[in-house]
Structure 1
Amino acid sequence: MRCIRLWTDAEGISRFEEGRIALKDGGTVNFLSDKFSTKSISFAETKAGESLQWHNAPAKQFVITLRGTLDFWNKVDEHVVITPGDILLAEDVTGPGHSWKLIGDDPWRRAYVILETDGDLAFIKN
């Protein structure tokens, strides 16, 4: 599963790195991740064509895109495209943050999974 980690570096800039969530053999036909400690889950939808200017993640969270394609940017003009099925691990709770814009005609449907801050998230950088 593709996972994009978004965090704040030592200079205060939000950064992206591509990786995946570690999966282990779960028997028969499954590969499973570890279980993560969570605080809550919620769902949101944003209509096509929308964008959100500079902001931080309100909490350490997984943002799981169910529908829609987005272009995420940081303050040093780096960007990453998020597509359905991608997991964004948003950890940039400080600094100038990131912005995003929806690409195409689909709305952005997503699940926000707020994480406990001290858990291991099994992110593996590519």
Structure 2
Amino acid sequence: MNTDQAGTPNNYLKAIRLINIEEDKCTFEIGKIPIRQHINANYFFAQTDVSALEKIPHPAPRRQYVITLKGKLRFTVSSGETFIIEPGIVLIANDTAGDGHTWEIVDGNEWERIYIPLDEGTDDYFIAD
């Protein structure tokens, strides 16, 4: 089986999932999602604005996939731990309570992304490493 540079088999995409833990704190898990997996979603939308929430703590407004098309960002969770999101890494925003997370652009000044809201009760197909 071939693997990409990150060591993820070709039938998976690298993913990071934001989640709530005790006291509505936010943390993250690193893992993957299978390719060619049907996701039960009704719509998606694109966004390019970066002024609204950059560096401001916030929870996800809903469970959703966030697909970065352009940009490199550092996300920070409640503990102060950070991770990087860039094209090729799927973010699953599942931290819908509490203070949530912050993000900031670390390379350039653009973040083009697509949001795919997940229907209530839909599996996000995330597999933790």
Q: Same-fold call, TM > 0.5? A: yes
1:77 paired residue number:
80
Cα pair 1:67 1:106 within 8 Å, conserved: no
Give unmatched runs, 5+ long, in structure 1. Answer: 24-31
Deviations 1:16-48 (A, max 9, x none): 11100024xxxxxxxx22x11113200011359
1:104 and 1:47 map into 2 onto residues whose CA distance is 13
TM-score with structure 1 setting the length: 0.85
Cα pair 2:27 2:78 within 8 Å, conserved: no
Cα pair 1:72 1:101 within 8 Å, conserved: yes
Query: Which SS does the other structure have where 1:68 is aligned?
Result: strand
2:71 paired residue number:
68
Calculate percent identity across the aligned residue pairs: 32
1:53 paired residue number:
56
1:51 and 1:59 map into 2 onto residues whose CA distance is 18
RMSD: 1.7
Structure 1 segments of 4 or more deviating over 2 A? none
1:17 paired residue number:
29
Residue of 96, 99, 105 corresponding to 1:102: 105
Larger strand fraction of residues: 1
Give unmatched runs, 5+ long, in structure 2. Answer: 1-12
1:107 and 1:47 map into 2 onto residues whose CA distance is 7
